[in-house]
Structure 1
Amino acid sequence: MRSRLLILPVFVLLSACGMIDGRTDGPRPSQNVERLSPPSADTRQCLANLQRQDVRFRRLPDRHFSNGCRAIGAVQLVEVGTPTRNLGAMTCPLAERYARWTREVLQPSAREHFGQQVTLVETFGTYGCRNIAGTGRLSEHGKANAIDISAFRLADGRRITVLGGWNNGDRRERAFLRDLHRGACERFEIVLGPEANAAHRDHFHFDMGSRGPYCR
């Protein structure tokens, strides 16, 4: 039976932005706990898809921040099968695709190339209120709709980084990272990696933006 691995409890959507834990299995709402609004039909279907994948998550309250930033229909992933560092609020579709990618791409590729599991995914986070670099357009991070992935740790302790492994890693590392990138392009709307531009030399960017599909 597949063992269930817990995501490290790092909740990085900062309280300064007003986001709180939206879990529904805790104490009854009080004046200090915000009630969750009913999810849209699309979000309800997405949440059901997460449950069918045995993904544990907490719903988060819808939030609107300054500069047009927002987190609508977002969840906090609790257990997805592969521990992941730095996960904050994610739109449900992004969370659902990430769960699928770890199960269908990440772990099979690690077994193929290294004969072992990935025990940790390191990320630069999900939500961040900012524009796309060099533009006035809001980044998908400002909508909790993107994730940046920087490194992977294997069961034997080996650490593979996008920065060090994409061009300068050994044959297995390069093949592994390209498998992950290619598999992401089949699941997310926009995927950017080291060959996209200098800003992505050290991480993969996956998002569910409406300007896709785009893979580079």
Structure 2
Amino acid sequence: MMTSPSTGRRKGHYTRPSRLGHVATAVIFVASLLVGEVPADAQTKQKATPPAWEATSAAEPAAAAPPTQPASDAAKAAQKSEDGVKPADPATTAAEPAPKAPPTWSAAEIADAKARCAVVLQRIHAVALPHEPIKEGACGTPAPIELISIGQNPQVALSPPAIVTCDLAESLVNWFEGDVQPLARKHLKSEIITIQTMSSYSCRNAYGRKKTKLSEHGLANALDIGGFITATTKTADVLQDWGKPQRQILAEAAAEQRAAEEAAAKAAGTAVATNPAQAALPSALPSTAGAAVTSLARSTIIDGAGDGEIVAKPTLATSDPVVANKLGGPLLKPGKKGSLAHKTSKIGVNSTSNPDPELKAFLHEAHQAACRIFGTTLGPEANDDHRNHFHIDMAQRKFTKICN
């Protein structure tokens, strides 16, 4: 069938635009898809990487932040109220100086002392072990030794061993070899083989009191001896065998004199009360016997002693149960057991006025001989602190040695 030209144009007119419309629609659709994806991707990148101006602006506050200022008192108080922790005080948190090292002997002092000690030990009969230098404040010595025994044929053991200086060890050897052993052979018919030591080095003041000067024990320069044991097992014990100290005898005589005077005064007062005529009679002159005895009873260790060095104490009766705690030597705690504690506790019952004459003579003569050698020699005649031992030391005296 033939189509008219007009119809063909009409058909061609409507057919062509229809195809173009479909193409345009497809293009628009594709373009819209492309346009929709690009912004989404750009937004994601924008979020991941902020623009340079934003990065710069964010970094500027940290770089330009001013230095932190110290918190005010109000801020500290607020901080304390918030967290309950007291703010640090700058005055106390400042760097504190390092603690001072404890005082020590110099290497030169130690070397010199050890060299001198070696020379001393070579010329005496003694068995000793070197001891570490001791320095405790004002106490100590650069080259102490632990003295095990002294003498030769027989060796005399120190029980327990003593921490002393070599100078003290030398004087101890000289005392024993020159005096103690000959006296032991004379009075005890045997030789001493053991020294019962009570105290050697001890960092303390004299008598262990606060207001006295440093004891020679604090310099390892003193030794307390409680007794001596012979090869025949005979013991010369200072507490039991010294006998009643002369100072105690004189004190008891003075006490008896005062009691007699008081009794006489009381009797005279009673007589006057019953016979008023006697009141006109002149009173009896006071007796000076008591005063004389009292002056003799005063401890003589004050004479020649320095201030605060040795202090005499009132005499304590040996029956006083507290005497054991006032004796010299190492401090004993209540309830402590052992030979030393037992020994000191016996003062009230076993101290006798009539010990074996030979034991008594040996102790008295050994003590007197020590006075010629040591700077200080104290024993039962000195005071009650030394009632149970001899104290010997090497203290240097300007004028005379102390012997009591």
What TM-score comes out, normalization by structure 2 length? 0.42
Q: Is the 8 A contact 1:63 1:72 kept in 2?
A: yes
1:82 aligns with 2:152: no
User: Post-superposition shift, 1:202?
Assistant: 0.2
Larger Rg: 2
How much does 1:187 deviate? Answer: 0.9
Q: Larger deviation: 57-66 or 197-206?
A: 57-66
Q: 1:79 and 1:192 mapped to 2: Cα distance?
A: 22
Shift of 1:175: 0.7
Q: Which moved more, 1:181-190 or 1:70-79?
A: 70-79
Deviations 1:168-210 (A, max 9, x none): 3221111100111011111111100100111000000000112
Q: Could you say which residue in structure 2 is the equivalent of 1:69?
A: 139
Q: Tell whether 2:403 aligns with 1:215.
A: yes
Q: Does residue 129 of structure 2 align to residue 58 of structure 1?
A: yes
| Maintained 8 Å contact 2:147/2:158 | no
Question: In the alignment, residue 131 of structure 2 is paired with which amino acid?
Answer: L
Deviates more, 1:45-54 or 1:186-195: 45-54
Q: Structure 2: give runs of 5+ residues left out of the alignment.
A: 1-108, 244-352
Aligned in 2, Cα 1:39/1:58: closer, same or farther, shift over 3 Å? farther
CA change 1:88–1:141 in 2 (3 A) is same
Alignment check: 8 A CA contact 2:110 2:142 kept: no
Residue 319 of structure 2 corresponds to residue 131 of structure 1: no
Distance, in Å, in 2 between the alignment partners of 1:78 and 1:192 is: 23
Greater fraction helix = 2
Instruction: Specify the code of the residue in structure 2 equivalent to 1:58.
Output: L
Supply the distance in 1 between the matched residues of 2:234 and 2:125 (Cα, whole angstroms): 28
Q: Distance in 1 between matches of 2:116 and 2:380?
A: 34
Residue of structure 2 in register with 1:159 after alignment: 235
Question: Which one has the bigger strand percentage?
Answer: 1
Higher relative contact order (CA closer than 8 Å, sequence separation 6+): 1
Per the TM alignment, residue 56 of structure 1 is displaced from its structure 2 partner at its CA by: 2.5
Report the number of matched residues.
178
> Does the residue aligned with 1:128 lie in a helix, a strand or coil?
coil
C-alpha displacement of 1:47 = 3.3
Q: Report the Cα distance in structure 2 between the residues aligned to 1:175 and 1:51, rounded to whole angstroms.
A: 33
Contact 2:120 2:166 in 1 (8 A): no
Q: Which moved more, 1:72-81 or 1:158-167?
A: 72-81
1:46 Cα deviation from its structure 2 partner = 4.8
State the shift of 1:146 in Å: 0.3
One of 171, 191, 202 as aligned partner of 1:117: 191
Report the Cα offset of residue 54 of structure 1: 3.0
**Which residue identity does 1:215 align to in structure 2?**
C
Identity of aligned residues (%): 34
TM-score, normalised with respect to structure 1: 0.76
- The answer for the alignment partner of 1:103 in structure 2 is 177
* Letter in structure 2 aligned against 1:91: T
Give the match's secondary structure for 2:176. helix
* Contact 2:120–2:167 (CA under 8 A) maintained in structure 1: no
Mapped to 2, the partners of 1:92 and 1:47 lie a distance apart of 8
1:175 match: 361
Q: Deviation at 1:156?
A: 1.9
Aligned to 1:187: 373
Summarize deviations over 1:142-186 as a string: whole Å, max 9, x none: 111100000111222222210111113221111100111011111
Q: Distance in 2 between matches of 1:48 and 1:100?
A: 16
Contact map agreement 1:72 1:91 (CA 8 A) in 2: no
Distance 1:85 1:194, change over 3 A: same
The letter of the residue matching 2:401 is P
- Give the conservation status (yes or no) of the 8 Å contact 1:122–1:149: yes
